[in-house]
């Protein structure tokens, strides 16, 4: 690679400045917002890829991609340009960058005292490198010892990524080690760098295979640095100011697209296992799941149909029903729907070479093509070879949507589970249609799953336009939150996985993937023992996606009733989830409306407390519930650090109040998940412990956790029919609440907005068992106060 060195000012535009570098390259600095700049390098004054699918600051991108030079959706504020002999400065009221000679950038931000302060800088001894053959780019930044680095999406190990090296190359990492395996399924080269008093985000909009070194590498000739390198494509990155980590995360979501607002039922328990659909009598096995849920009094809302329903012998063939195993798909789906369960069917984007429809698809030119022969590319897939569908071809999209409709939607299966979509095409030069402008797959591999799930979503929307769609995807790139719920892939059963999947999920959430979960109980390997299974379910019910899924080595299924001796503990955990469905649904609404993460590290709302940055197994679901999962065998009490705040924390079960900023020890018997609640919060809850589709609530409960002394807090609670788009026309219900307390009394004020009339017509307010102050609602004293806990 060659280092970019000498530059001259080429041209100034209203939204960016162009430099001419080494007499052949154009270096662009865009000012998109007061606190958001962009750096784009045109190698030899051209782009390797002239479009993007990740950047969506306003509306969704066109199918064929957003023009890479587009600035639509940004406010484009006026900026100041100052030029001196060996440097120039570009600044707004919040952010400024100095361009030095030879080429390197130095970034500063305006602090609370209205003073310019150092933010970050490039490595001065060679910051930007390009491969002279047109492939490969690199960017080097300074690395500072106090930096904490978060993000990168779905990554193993600790939450703080500092000192490690990572690779972005979507892989089907079956049975991965959650503490160390890399790469994994998703491609999100986005980091949050934090130090005392400030945070900034850095997103590289490059979809080729990528390496990020965050301090593992040392070189005697340079000061400490961090390195970004991509095998192809352009240097194109967005740098934006927090100033806090939460601000960075929310701004990244606004940059790449808002979170899909899915249906309420998607937050219920979702059953799944490969053993049912792999069985010779799959339909019988599947329908037995319905009766077993009823027999064991386990509420459930959906079932994820594994790919065995498409099998011929032991291989899987997308859109091919095995009628020997599932003789009556419509009868099957009706049985699930009648029980209040929705079905989501597994679909894959690769056709094996002996697929019954392979030749039809090949002759239509719908596959990614071999770079030398022009024939369909062939890659290893599911113990054979197959060819991947090319979702940059409009005819492929049409073929896919036609089959989603005829093979699934018309069979009564309303949702899609988009799986095995890493597009492991090993010919990096394999040719994609590119919507009429051919592109080598090395430039857009992670876009393929993005377009696949978009095709599935649009098919679902056309078939049921009145319903909010629900989809799942394992792979993708930044922006998949616009379409799907996701999960951490094919994890391996172990206590270690339980611990590090939690950190993996928090890292995904910090990277904009709010609607997520894990395969509870572990997908591959040995089946979990009874204790591990209980603890995993307790952890799982506190994630947006709660799915028990498995492909155990002994061909058993992870089921809620798999160990009769602990089934009551499993039932209690799932019942707790259903009690809290209104709270989870409100979080999903806030994720969509306000870009608020659902799963949150404890430091996200408590940056002032340095102790919250220690690696921990604790996390927050929303701002209010602190989850202290048990992730060690035999543990029956749990140390929990309570983040320092002004209000303190309640024990979720007993109502005992604790000051923040201390470590406490709480009981953790096998049947209990340790939970704490932030004082000042109001938790909506349900009494209906059944499918949300069948629930007919008469009462909505509000659990109040008032501050101990004087104080006030406020928020809102969202309610609608759970599946339509009517909220867009105000046919929803918003409860705006304010909770005020002093030493004498507690006041709850509630105001309503919206036209929606829920099935429940009564609110019951519940206080902690330890509370003695009288409660007033909208100024009137409540004569009979319920004192209880959520256990």
The answer, yes or no, to whether residue 135 has pLDDT greater than 90, is: no
Question: What does the mean pLDDT of the chain come to?
Answer: 96
| Tens of pLDDT, residues 656-675 | 999 999 999 999 999 999 99
Q: 790 pLDDT band (50/70/90 cuts)?
A: very low
The answer, yes or no, to whether residue 787 has pLDDT greater than 70, is: no
Structure tokens given for 765: 């307010």
- Helix or strand (DSSP H, E) at 461: helix 447-463
Query: Of 190, 258, 250, which is closest to residue 481 (Cα–Cα)?
Result: 258
| Tens of pLDDT, residues 155-186 | 999 999 999 999 999 999 999 999 999 999 99
Boundaries of every domain in the chain: 2-152+188-256, 599-678, 681-787
What fold characterizes domain 681-787? Answer: Immunoglobulin-like (2.60.40)
Residue 791 is predicted with a pLDDT of 41
What is the SS3 assignment for 255?
helix
Give the pLDDT mean for 216-230: 97
Instruction: Count Cα neighbours of 207 within 13 Å in the Cβ-side half-sphere.
Output: 29
β-pair partners for 628: 618
DSSP state of 36: E
The answer, yes or no, to whether residue 53 has pLDDT greater than 60, is: yes
Residue 133 is predicted with a pLDDT of 76
Instruction: Count Cα neighbours of 572 within 13 Å in the Cβ-side half-sphere.
Output: 14
Query: Of 91, 83, 71, 88, which is closest to residue 15 (Cα–Cα)?
Result: 71
| CATH class of the domain defined by 2-152+188-256 | mainly beta
Q: 786 pLDDT band (50/70/90 cuts)?
A: low
For residues 665 and 119, give the distance between their C-alpha atoms in angstroms, rounded to a whole number.
39
Name the pairing type of β-strands 7-12 and 137-142: unpaired
Give the pLDDT mean for 589-600: 98
The answer, yes or no, to whether residue 397 has pLDDT greater than 70, is: yes
| Tens of pLDDT, residues 739-780 | 999 999 999 999 999 999 999 999 999 999 999 999 999 999
Burial class (CB within 10 angstroms; exposed 0-12, middle 13-18, buried 19+) of 452: buried
pTM: 0.97
Q: What are phi and psi of 357, to 5 degrees?
A: -115, 15
Q: 572 pLDDT band (50/70/90 cuts)?
A: very high
Name the pairing type of β-strands 25-33 and 16-21: antiparallel
CB 176 within 8 A of CB 152: no
| Upstream peptide bond of 183 is cis (omega within 30 degrees of 0) | yes
315 torsion bin: left (phi>0), alpha (psi -120 to 50), beta (else):
beta
Q: Does domain 599-678 have CATH number 2.60.40.1180?
A: yes
Q: Same CATH fold, 681-787 and 2-152+188-256?
A: yes
Percentage of the chain beyond pLDDT 90 is 96
Enumerate long-range contacts of 220-225, CB under 8 Å, 24 or more apart: 221/125, 222/123, 222/125, 222/126, 222/140, 223/123, 223/124, 223/125, 223/142, 224/142, 224/143, 224/144, 224/145, 225/123, 225/140, 225/141, 225/142, 225/143
| Tens of pLDDT, residues 274-303 | 999 999 999 999 999 999 999 999 999 999
Q: Where are the beta strands (DSSP E) in 596-710?
A: 599-600, 618-621, 625-628, 637-642, 649-651, 657-658, 662-667, 675-678, 681-686, 699-705
Task: For helices 447-463 and 394-407, give the axis angle rounded to 10 degrees.
Answer: 50
Give the pLDDT mean for 373-393: 96
Give the pLDDT mean for 689-712: 94
Name the pairing type of β-strands 625-628 and 618-621: antiparallel
């Amino acid at each position: 690679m060659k280092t970019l060195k000498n530059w001259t000012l080429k041209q100034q535009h209203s939204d960016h400045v162009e430099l001419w570098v080494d007499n052949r390259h154009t270096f662009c600095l865009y000012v998109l917002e007061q606190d958001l700049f962009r750096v784009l390098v045109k190698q030899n004054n051209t782009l390797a890829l002239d479009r993007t699918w990740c950047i969506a600051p306003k509306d969704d991108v066109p199918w064929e991609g957003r023009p890479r030079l587009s600035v639509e959706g940004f406010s484009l504020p006026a900026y100041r340009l100052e030029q001196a002999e060996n440097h120039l400065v570009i600044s707004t009221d919040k952010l400024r960058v100095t361009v030095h000679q030879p080429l390197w950038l130095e970034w500063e931000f305006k602090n609370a005292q209205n003073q310019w302060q150092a933010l970050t800088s490039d490595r001065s001894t060679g910051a930007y490198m390009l491969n002279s053959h047109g492939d490969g780019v690199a960017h080097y930044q300074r690395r500072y010892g106090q930096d904490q680095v978060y993000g990168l999406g779905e990554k193993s190990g600790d939450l703080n990524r500092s000192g490690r090296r990572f690779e972005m190359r979507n892989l089907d990492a079956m049975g991965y080690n959650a503490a160390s395996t890399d790469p994994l399924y998703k491609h999100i080269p986005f980091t949050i760098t934090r130090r005392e008093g400030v945070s900034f985000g850095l997103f590289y909009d490059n979809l080729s295979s990528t390496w990020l070194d965050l301090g593992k590498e040392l070189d005697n000739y340079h000061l400490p640095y961090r390195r970004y390198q991509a095998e192809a494509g352009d240097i194109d990155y967005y740098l934006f100011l927090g100033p806090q980590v939460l601000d960075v995360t929310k701004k990244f979501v606004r940059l790449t697209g808002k979170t899909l607002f899915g249906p309420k039922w998607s937050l219920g328990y979702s059953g799944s296992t490969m053993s049912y659909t792999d069985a010779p009598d799959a339909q019988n096995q599947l329908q037995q799941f319905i009766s077993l849920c009823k027999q064991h009094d386990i509420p459930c809302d959906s079932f994820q149909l594994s790919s065995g329903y498409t099998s011929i012998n032991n291989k899987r063939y997308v859109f091919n029903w095995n009628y020997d195993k599932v003789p009556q798909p419509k009868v099957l789906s009706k049985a699930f729907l009648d029980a209040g369960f929705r079905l989501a069917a597994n679909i894959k984007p690769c056709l094996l070479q002996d697929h019954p429809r392979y030749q039809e698809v090949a002759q239509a030119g719908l596959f990614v093509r071999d770079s030398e022969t022009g024939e369909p590319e062939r890659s290893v897939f599911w113990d054979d070879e197959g060819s991947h569908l090319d979702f940059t071809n409009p005819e492929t999209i049409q073929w896919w949507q036609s089959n989603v409709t005829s093979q699934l939607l018309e069979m009564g299966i309303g949702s899609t589970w988009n799986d095995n979509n890493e597009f492991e095409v090993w010919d990096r030069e394999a040719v994609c249609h590119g919507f009429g402008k051919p592109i080598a797959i090395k430039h857009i591999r992670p876009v393929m799953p993005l377009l696949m799930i978009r095709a599935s979503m649009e098919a679902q929307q056309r078939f049921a336009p009145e319903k909010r769609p629900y989809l799942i995807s394992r792979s993708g790139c930044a922006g998949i939150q616009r379409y799907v719920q996701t999960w951490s892939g094919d994890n391996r059963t172990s206590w270690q996985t339980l611990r590090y999947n939690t950190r993996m999920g928090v890292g995904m959430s910090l990277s904009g993937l709010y609607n997520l979960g894990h395969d509870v109980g572990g997908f591959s390997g040995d089946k979990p023992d009874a204790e591990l299974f209980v603890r995993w379910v307790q952890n799982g019910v506190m994630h947006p996606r709660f799915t028990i899924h498995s492909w155990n080595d002994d061909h058993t299924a992870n089921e809620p009733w798999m160990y009769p001796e602990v089934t009551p503990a499993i039932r209690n955990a799932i019942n707790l989830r259903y009690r809290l469905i209104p709270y989870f649904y409100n979080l999903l609404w806030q994720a969509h409306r306000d870009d608020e993460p659902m799963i949150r590290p404890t430091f996200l709302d408590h940056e002032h407390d340095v102790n919250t940055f220690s690696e921990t197994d604790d996390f927050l679901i929303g701002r209010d519930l602190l989850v202290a999962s048990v992730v060690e065998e035999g543990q029956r009490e749990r140390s929990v650090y309570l983040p320092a705040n002004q209000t303190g924390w309640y024990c979720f079960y007993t109502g005992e109040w604790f000051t923040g900023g201390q470590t406490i020890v709480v009981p953790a018997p096998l049947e209990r998940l340790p939970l704490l609640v932030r004082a000042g919060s109001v938790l909506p809850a349900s009494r209906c412990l059944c499918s949300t589709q069948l629930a007919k609530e008469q009462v909505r409960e509000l659990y109040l956790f008032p501050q101990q002394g004087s104080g006030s807090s406020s928020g809102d609670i969202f309610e609608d029919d759970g599946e339509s788009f009517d909220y867009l026309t105000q046919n929803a219900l918003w409860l705006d609440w304010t909770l005020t307390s002093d030493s004498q009394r507690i006041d709850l004020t509630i105001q309503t907005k919206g036209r929606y009339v829920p099935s429940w017509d009564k609110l019951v307010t519940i206080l902690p068992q330890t509370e003695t102050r009288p409660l007033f609602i909208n100024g009137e004293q409540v004569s009979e106060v319920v004192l209880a806990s959520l256990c």
